[in-house]
Amino acid sequence: MSDTHAILEACASPSGLAAELEPFPCEGPLALRFSKNPFLMAPMAGVSDAAYRMMARAGGAALAYSEMVSVTGIHYRSQKTWELVEPDEAEPDLAVQLFGADCDHFAEAVGKVCDRMCDKLALIDINMACPVPKVTKGGGGSALLDDAELAARIVRTCVGESSVPVTVKIRRGRRMGEEVAPEFARVMVDAGAAAVAVHGRYANQMYRGEADWGVVARVAEAVDVPVIGSGDVSGAAEAVRMLGECGCAAVMVARGSYGNPWVFGQARGLLAGDEMAEPDPARRIAAFCEHVRLLDATDAHMARGRSLAGWYLRGLPRAAYWRGLATSCVTLRDYLELADRLRAEMGEA
């Protein structure tokens, strides 16, 4: 296995950023953390594995989240579930996002995650936002928006078992035209939530249409804990704009980080008044190589590199051609050879 520490150090990362930003006017450990760097890598199912998280942290993210983790999977001792939880040794810390609808399973899961991760655990986040039917049909994810009483019991249960802050992620509401987020957030905070992340779409919108950032501002006005904005943050400029317009303490970047681990550092630089240039093609190819090396080093399925190729090589000459070649890559060597061929072609241009 490769030395992930060495690979992490080699990842392109921002430099010369301000060490401190203005404190956010909320109390608690998360407010202090977000005052130093308010740009977070969002939890993304099938995306935010250890390699992805390390690239985001190297690119300037203050915090990275695990993929969604089933509390029922932990209850039944699923090794695949635990693989989603445990950070790589090179990761500084990790926010673990849990989903489910059973209070007993949540209590068990939180206790086990805290015991196993110790000081690598930054916070526990409860997913109350996922709109995917396989999650909601069991009462988890955005289905909890229809049952604030159960959601509050889950929060209280998790707070009672956790050694770290417990947060929640919600959506605007379950169905179009039925906004519940501000009042729902108040109930979650009363139950002990240390922060609330808000995605600006209704659950039945899935990821269609535009996110309404106004609901982020309304939730921020409704509660006295840090609020994290989410939805349609496609780049550094949008991240900084959401922070300024919505009165939130932090911003989650999800799809805007695809092939762009620099987005977090760029956003922090903009906030500090420094413009950061977009990475040139050579840097994008180098970052792609580092990312697939991290996939290999962390024993991830190398097929994930095919998606990475599509993201990192987007906008390069003959990008569609190179993406097509990437679909045949199986090993680390395949991806690195593809990158070498791309460099050679660009050198001839």
pLDDT score of 220: 97
Contact residues for 302 (Cβ-Cβ < 8 A; gap 6+): 292, 295, 296, 329, 330, 331, 332, 335
pTM beyond 0.75: yes
pLDDT score of 28: 66
Q: What average pLDDT does the segment 165-176 reach?
A: 96
pLDDT score of 76: 96
Per-residue confidence at 349, pLDDT binned at 50, 70, 90? very low
Joined together, the tokens standing for residue 231 give 């939805």
pLDDT in tens, 84-97: 999 999 999 999 99
pLDDT in tens, 234-277: 999 999 999 999 999 999 999 999 999 999 999 999 999 887 78
pLDDT in tens, 191-246: 999 999 999 999 999 999 999 999 999 999 999 999 999 999 999 999 999 999 99
Which of the residues are catalytic? 130
Q: How far apart are CA 40 and CA 60, in angstroms?
A: 9
- Given a cut of 50, whether residue 24 has pLDDT beyond it is no
Q: How far apart are CA 51 and CA 138, in angstroms?
A: 30
Would you kindly state where each structural domain of the chain is located, as residue ranges? 27-271, 281-348
| Number of Cβ within a 10 Å radius of residue 15 | 9
CATH number of this structure's domain 27-271: 3.20.20.70
CA distances from 96 to 42, 60, 295 (A): 11, 19, 20
Q: What average pLDDT does the segment 14-19 reach?
A: 32
Contact residues for 100 (Cβ-Cβ < 8 A; gap 6+): 70, 71, 72, 106, 109, 138, 139, 140
